Amino acid sequence: MEEQHNKNAQLFFGIISSLGSQAWMQLGKIKNPMTDKIERDIPGATITIDMISMLKDKTEGNLSEEEKSFIDHTIKDLQMNYIVEKEKKDVARLHAMIELFETDLCLAKSLSAYFGEELDYNCQRCSVCIEKEPVKLLSSDLPSLDMLDFHDLVQQLTDIAESPLPVALVTRFLCGIPSPRLFEYKARQMASFSRLEAYPYKTVEKWVQLHNK
Ligand SMILES: [Zn+2]
C-alpha cells in the first residue's frame, strides 16, 4: 500500500513535469530538444495548460502538500508567461497593421492583400492614390530621427549579433516588435529595445538603411 502510494506520487510529479516542459516549449521559452529549435505554439500551450488545470481539479482533495504546491506553482508560472507571450503577439499584430497603412501602396490594395485577396488595380480614390504619400499615423509631433545616434542605439545588438546587421532585424529591434531571433538575443533586456516604437515602421526602416553600415 505504502509502496503503491510512493509510486503514484512519483508518477504524478512525472506527468506534471512532462506536461510542464511541453507547455514551456509551446510558449517558446525552451527549445524543442528533438529539433534544437524554438517552436512557439501559443494555441497548443493553452491546451496543455488546461490539461494540467484539469488534473488539478480531478485530483482535488487527494494530493499531499508537496504535490499540491508543485501543481499550483506549475500552473501559476505557466499562466503568467502565457499572458506575456500572448501580449507580445497582439502587439506584433498591431504593428503589422500600422505597417500596412504606412506603405506607399494603394490602401485598398494593401488591405485586400492583408485579408488574402488580390486587387490588381489601384483604387484611385484613397489618400495614397490621390496624394502619392504614405499615411502618417501618430508621428507628426515626434522629433526627427537625425537627432539620434544610430550606432549608440544598436551598440548592444552589434556586440552579439552577426555583422552587418540585417535591416529588418534592427528595425524590429528599435520598433519593439518581437521576433524569434531578437528573443534569442534577449533583446528585450537591452536599453534601446522599442526606443523608437512611436515612429512609423517605414520611417525607422529608412533611417536604419541609411545608417546601418
Ligand atoms: Zn488607392
Q: Going residue by residue through the chain, which has 213 residues, state the pLDDT in tens, using 9 for 90 and above.
A: 678 888 999 999 999 999 999 999 999 999 998 999 999 898 999 999 999 999 999 999 999 999 999 999 999 999 989 988 888 877 777 777 777 777 778 888 887 877 777 888 888 888 888 877 666 655 556 778 888 999 999 999 988 887 788 999 999 999 998 888 888 888 989 999 999 988 888 889 999 999 987
Residues near ligand 1 ion, CB 5 Å cutoff: 106, 108, 122-123, 126, 129
**pLDDT recorded at residue 3:** 86
CA of residue 110 to ligand 1 center, whole Å: 9
Range 32-38, long-range pairs (CB < 8 A, 24+ positions): 38/180, 38/183, 38/184
Tell me how far the alpha carbon of residue 129 lies from the centroid of ligand 1, in angstroms: 4
**Could you give phi then psi for residue 61, rounded to 5 degrees?**
85, 0
- pLDDT of the residue at 163: 78
Looking at residue 144, the DSSP 8-state letter turns out to be P
Q: Give, as one character, the DSSP assignment of residue 32.
A: B
pTM of the model: 0.49
CA 57–ligand 1 middle distance (angstroms): 55
- The pLDDT, as a whole number, for residue 165 is 86
Dist. CA 123 → ligand 1 center (Å): 4
For residue 111, the CA-to-ligand 1 centroid distance in Å is: 10
Strand partners, 32: 37
* 184 contacts 162 by C-beta, under 8 angstroms: no
Q: Which three cell numbers stand for residue 204?
A: 525607422
The DSSP letter of residue 201 is H
Residue 88 CA to ligand 1 center (angstroms) comes to 31
The CB-side HSE value for 132 (13 A sphere, CA atoms) comes to: 0
- Give the up-direction half-sphere exposure of residue 49: CA atoms within 13 A in the CB hemisphere: 23
